[in-house]
Structure 1
Amino acid sequence: MPQISEKGMAMPSSPIRKLVPFADKAKERGIKVYHLNIGQPDIQTPDVALQALKTCNEKVIEYTHSAGNISYRKKLAKYYQNIGINIDENNIMITTGGSEAITIAFMSTLNPGDEIIIPEPFYANYTAFALMCGVKVKTVTSSIENNFALPPISEIEKVITPHTKGIVIVNPNNPTGYLYSKEELEQLAVIVKKHDLYLYADEVYREFCYDGYKHFSTMQLAGIEQNVILLDSVSKRYSECGLRVGALVTRNKEVMAAALKFGMARLCAPAIGQIVAEASLDTPAEYFESVYNEYIERRDFMVEALNKMPGVVCPKPRGAFYAVVKLPVDDADTFAKWLLEEFEYNKQTVMVAPASGFYSTPGLGKDEVRIAYVLKIEELKGAMETLAKALEVYPGRV
């Protein structure tokens, strides 16, 4: 029988999705599973978006422009202008979700064997995207002890080699919820300019910054305008994860020209998705205020509940809707699987994402999990009670 590719064998399983078969079997046994493993909000999609979907009267679902509908790109450019990012529609390419924005950005700027630096823990799929493009990931490690702040700039410079071509940041961070400050980003800009690197900035959670902290975009950094590539998506902002519409944004004309060639090869982003995404830009401010308050309530409840559990450590996230949590367990992967295969409390259990999959350095995150506070308070109460009971009886408790 023919062999699968080396990339196919090396491709890692998602720590977010790899336990789904075990969750399915638990449900077949009549167990309720609280899904804290995935960033799928239960927040309702804005009415303006749903209405656009319902009233779409296209007679033919046609291909769109490979860069995206011009009306959407112009309207999206105004969105960025309103938050202090001075660009126009020619700086935007619409993609099939943020995932395609990342892969096209990598393919447009990196050669096989090139290196990128990412602070770990990081969004697990970056490992897969880099592997697909033949790129090597090098890391600098942040730790739960200092709430996953950006490692010192000196530590980042230590891992720069002649093969280093870029730095990736996710801000606010997935999986930790850490929000990089303007000062941290300005320090990062010094390295980017000094070594002439690309700065890939994943800012899909920019609307979710808490406790008075404000989001500062890398697109606002002075002196590296040609180095920055912004990666964006409607998935979290409007609770439209299944729409699969993202964006690659850059002022670098050469990068945009290369990206568009890859865009032509895949033809276009989803036509219906772009119609809905364009309508979503009319979402009223009241929607975001309501969502913001809801996430604050969920976060505060969950963080307090977790830190009351013996041996559990959970920093308070400044943004997004995730937290990396340290548990008193021997192995978080084993614990996550045990929750679904062997444990139940009142016919319910919890699904979490083992944090080891968010680290590149072997051995890190072994006693950590990522938890997404994307469920309503009543659901979170049930999930936290269930998790507390599980930790009490887990055979591998430390």
Structure 2
Amino acid sequence: MKYSNRVTAMQSSPIRKLVPYALDAKARGIKVYHLNIGQPDIKTPKGFFDAVKNFDSNVLEYAVSNGIPELIKALQDYYTTYDMHFDSDDILITNGGSEALLFTMMAICDPGDNLLVPEPFYTNYNGFSQCVNVEVSPITTKAEDGFHLPPKEKICSLINPKTKGILLSNPGNPTGTVYTKEEVSMIAQIAIENNLWIIADEVYREFVYDGLDYTSFGNLKEVEDRVVIIDSVSKRYSACGARIGSLACKNKTLIAQILKLCQGRLCVATLEQIGSVQLYKTPVSYFKEVNEEYKHRRDVLYNELMKVDGVVCEKPTGAFYIVAKLPVENAEDFVIWMLKEFSKDNETVMACPAEGFYSTPGLGRNEIRLAYILNESDLYKAATLLKEGLEQYLLLPANSKVSPVEA
């Protein structure tokens, strides 16, 4: 049977494709510490579960396509705390931030168009764009620069007649980089001068450390007609399984176009929306506690990484990820080796090779992404195991290492 070029061209998720190696290690009785995926162990606020349990109706009906009014109002109130003021018809509820991204791409791009995206980037940007025959044009950033943006001239040189927008996450996944006010303003000016959309993936907005100021694209009046804010409850409230996302934009014509896509998929799950209303009523103190916890976890993992000679990594200032350049030729080889060959006291670590977070061939081959989402005790064990495993791996003769092709 023949399959579409669209689906065969899609890459497998670098976050999940090595899962069989982890399953095999577990079958051999080895405990695997998962630093490969952003699944927090922070407790989901109880209000979500209470709202679902207390739901009382004889029929579980379709919700309206744009989202239930109570959840849209909760989002309006949430944005107000960031001095962003949206009308109720500026917001659409989606099946996770993923659908918000996909629908936005479909609404602003035709097949063959492209979006500028700083790399490394959330790997599903590639998957979503390939689904709708849109190209990712990478803006390359470097570990040595803390993955901050290059000068305006460099970014502008990448724009062509098929460029429809700039897509970026802030704080960044996988880098943990928080863009400065100057960088945000630079992107805004580029968008105005070249008539581009800005797709601002801000799902990690609360996770900013070290007293840094955070600037949302939603705070820039001059680009409010071209900014689409992507959000989600997944990481903000440790509710990944709820699959509740949203998009917000003051360009009502764009919202009307995306609403047609929302109507085509009927609605977002009713019960998850009801639960998420309560998530957005969670006290601000929740974020303060969670923020301090993640900052502490970041320091534990970063400090252990920096004990290994040859590791290049700027301390991230947001989200809960670290991208580290390792003194190895192939990071995927190292990750597989950690799962197949290395253990201490029947424990090992699973990291995520970073090559799949790049669009430029060859980049990220010697980098890994780590998610500091475990409790302090487990994270310290995982960080120590990773350090010791890397030290052992570096002592191996080259011909004894397992290549991903052979594995």
TM-score range, shorter chain: over 0.9
User: Aligned pair 1:327/2:305, yes or no?
Assistant: no
Q: Deviations over 1:265-290 (max 9, x none)?
A: 10111111101110111111221111
| C-alpha distance in structure 2 between counterparts of 1:216 and 1:325, whole Å | 25
User: Aligned pair 1:233/2:232, yes or no?
Assistant: yes
Q: Which moved more, 1:340-349 or 1:299-308?
A: 340-349
Match of 1:272 in 2: 271
| C-alpha distance in structure 1 between counterparts of 2:56 and 2:24, whole Å | 41
Match of 2:405 in 1: none
Q: Deviations over 1:371-395 (max 9, x none)?
A: 0000011001111121122112223
Asked if structure 2 preserves the Cα contact closer than 8 Å seen for 1:91 and 1:249, the reply is yes
| C-alpha distance in structure 2 between counterparts of 1:396 and 1:272, whole Å | 55
Match of 2:404 in 1: none
Asked if structure 2 preserves the Cα contact closer than 8 Å seen for 1:76 and 1:89, the reply is no
Partner secondary structure for residue 223 of structure 1 = helix
Q: CA deviation at 1:86?
A: 1.3
Paired amino acid for 1:393: Q
Asked if structure 1 preserves the Cα contact closer than 8 Å seen for 2:102 and 2:128, the reply is yes
| C-alpha distance in structure 2 between counterparts of 1:325 and 1:41, whole Å | 20
Q: Which moved more, 1:387-396 or 1:326-335?
A: 387-396
| C-alpha distance in structure 1 between counterparts of 2:223 and 2:285, whole Å | 35
Match of 1:85 in 2: 84
Q: Deviations over 1:224-255 (max 9, x none)?
A: 11111111100000000010000011111111
In structure 2, the CA distance between the partners of 1:166 and 1:380, relative to structure 1 (3 Å rule), is: same
Partner secondary structure for residue 384 of structure 1 = helix
Match of 2:120 in 1: 121
Paired amino acid for 2:352: A
Partner secondary structure for residue 237 of structure 2 = coil
| C-alpha distance in structure 2 between counterparts of 1:188 and 1:147, whole Å | 18
Asked if structure 2 preserves the Cα contact closer than 8 Å seen for 1:74 and 1:88, the reply is no
* Count of residue pairs the alignment pairs up: 397
| C-alpha distance in structure 1 between counterparts of 2:260 and 2:327, whole Å | 50
Partner secondary structure for residue 274 of structure 1 = helix
Match of 1:63 in 2: 62
In structure 2, the CA distance between the partners of 1:104 and 1:310, relative to structure 1 (3 Å rule), is: same
Match of 1:13 in 2: 12
Gaps of 5+ in 2: 402-407
Match of 2:38 in 1: 39
Pairing of 1:1-398 with structure 2 (within 5 A): 2-394=1-393, 395=396
In structure 2, the CA distance between the partners of 1:77 and 1:396, relative to structure 1 (3 Å rule), is: farther
Q: CA deviation at 1:396?
A: 6.4
Q: CA deviation at 1:170?
A: 0.3
| C-alpha distance in structure 2 between counterparts of 1:316 and 1:57, whole Å | 48
Q: Deviations over 1:160-184 (max 9, x none)?
A: 0011100011000000000011111
Paired amino acid for 2:167: V
Q: CA deviation at 1:343?
A: 1.8
Paired amino acid for 1:268: C
Asked if structure 1 preserves the Cα contact closer than 8 Å seen for 2:144 and 2:313, the reply is no
| C-alpha distance in structure 2 between counterparts of 1:287 and 1:166, whole Å | 34
TM-score (normalised: structure 2): 0.95
Q: CA deviation at 1:13?
A: 0.6
Partner secondary structure for residue 168 of structure 1 = strand
Asked if structure 2 preserves the Cα contact closer than 8 Å seen for 1:330 and 1:396, the reply is no
Partner secondary structure for residue 308 of structure 1 = coil
| C-alpha distance in structure 2 between counterparts of 1:58 and 1:336, whole Å | 49
Q: CA deviation at 1:342?
A: 2.0
Q: Deviations over 1:109-138 (max 9, x none)?
A: 110011110010000000001001110110
Asked if structure 1 preserves the Cα contact closer than 8 Å seen for 2:181 and 2:215, the reply is yes
| C-alpha distance in structure 2 between counterparts of 1:31 and 1:269, whole Å | 39
Paired amino acid for 1:221: L
| C-alpha distance in structure 2 between counterparts of 1:336 and 1:286, whole Å | 37
Asked if structure 2 preserves the Cα contact closer than 8 Å seen for 1:96 and 1:245, the reply is yes
Gaps of 5+ in 1: none
**CA-based RMSD:** 1.2
Partner secondary structure for residue 306 of structure 2 = helix
Paired amino acid for 2:12: S
Q: Which moved more, 1:133-142 or 1:238-247?
A: 133-142
Q: Which moved more, 1:158-167 or 1:277-286?
A: 277-286
Asked if structure 2 preserves the Cα contact closer than 8 Å seen for 1:329 and 1:396, the reply is no
| C-alpha distance in structure 1 between counterparts of 2:222 and 2:291, whole Å | 33
| C-alpha distance in structure 2 between counterparts of 1:75 and 1:164, whole Å | 34
| C-alpha distance in structure 1 between counterparts of 2:329 and 2:224, whole Å | 46
| C-alpha distance in structure 1 between counterparts of 2:9 and 2:120, whole Å | 20
Asked if structure 2 preserves the Cα contact closer than 8 Å seen for 1:345 and 1:389, the reply is no
Asked if structure 2 preserves the Cα contact closer than 8 Å seen for 1:353 and 1:370, the reply is yes
Q: CA deviation at 1:188?
A: 1.0
Identity across the alignment (%): 47
TM-score (normalised: structure 1): 0.98
Partner secondary structure for residue 119 of structure 1 = strand
| C-alpha distance in structure 2 between counterparts of 1:140 and 1:217, whole Å | 20
| C-alpha distance in structure 1 between counterparts of 2:364 and 2:337, whole Å | 17
Q: CA deviation at 1:101?
A: 0.2
